[in-house]
Amino acid sequence: MKMKKERKMAVTEILKQPYARMVTPDEDGSYFAEIVEFPGCFATGATAVEALENLEGVAVDWVNATIAQGQNVPEPMEAMDYSGKLVLRMPKGLHKRAALWADREGVSLNQFIVSCVAEHVGSLARPAMTYAQTAFGGMSINVITLGGNGGMFMVPHHGNTFRIPLHMEAATTQLPFGHSRRDMAHAGT
């Protein structure tokens, strides 16, 4: 009995770390929530809040199962250390074409590859990505808007970051902490 209580405390401590919780709307009007670092750890709900609440229960089970199988629970992405160095393997023909393009552009192969990756990663967030940070109701909110009618709120809560999609056509959906999307949409203006 004591060991089960200790494991529950350990799971609670693990889930207090800054794991990325992402919520996205589904086509049927429901919401899909996941912990990005935990493969297969997801839940759904009729609202974003319900999906997040359901996710917390699923996350406890996911961590317990991972520990029971003798596997390590992944670290939060925020805690990972990225050195900026990467070993990359590619086909010889692609290597040659990249080297030729780098030479044509007058840059090193390394700089050419960095530019290509940066361009591709940046294009995933287009069109018109804007970023703002604001204080709302005593908490700091990072607001990322992708394009004209959508975006995502990244809301820190108890050491965790909740990424909640913003769709202007559903601007009054209730969010955690008793705030609505309409309130949060105007918090940065």
Report pLDDT digits (tens) over 98-109: 999 999 999 999
Residues 42 and 105 occupy one common structural domain: no
Q: Tokens 């105007």 map to which residue?
A: 186
Residues 117 and 74 occupy one common structural domain: no
Residues 16 and 46 occupy one common structural domain: yes
Residues 43 and 60 occupy one common structural domain: yes
Q: What is the dihedral of CA 82, 87, 90, 92, to 10 degrees?
A: 150
pLDDT tens-digit map of 82-127: 778 888 888 999 999 999 999 999 999 999 998 888 887 766 654 3
Residues 9 and 62 occupy one common structural domain: yes
Q: Give the side-chain half-sphere CA count within 13 A for 187.
A: 23
Structural domain for 102, as ranges:
82-124
User: Which residues are CB-neighbours of 12 under 8 A, at least 6 positions away?
Assistant: none
Residues 55 and 95 occupy one common structural domain: no
pLDDT band at 20 (very low <50, low <70, confident <90, very high): confident
Residues 165 and 151 occupy one common structural domain: yes
pLDDT band at 140 (very low <50, low <70, confident <90, very high): very low
CB–CB of 136/152 below 8 Å?
no
- Identify the pLDDT of residue 80: 65
Residue 146 CA to residue 167 CA, distance in Å, equals 10
Helix 109-124 to helix 92-105 angle (10° resolution) is: 100
Residues 57 and 132 occupy one common structural domain: no
Domain end among 124, 156, 180: 124
Residue 18 CA to residue 161 CA, distance in Å, equals 6
Residues 131 and 180 occupy one common structural domain: yes
Residues 109 and 145 occupy one common structural domain: no
How many domains does one find in the chain? 3
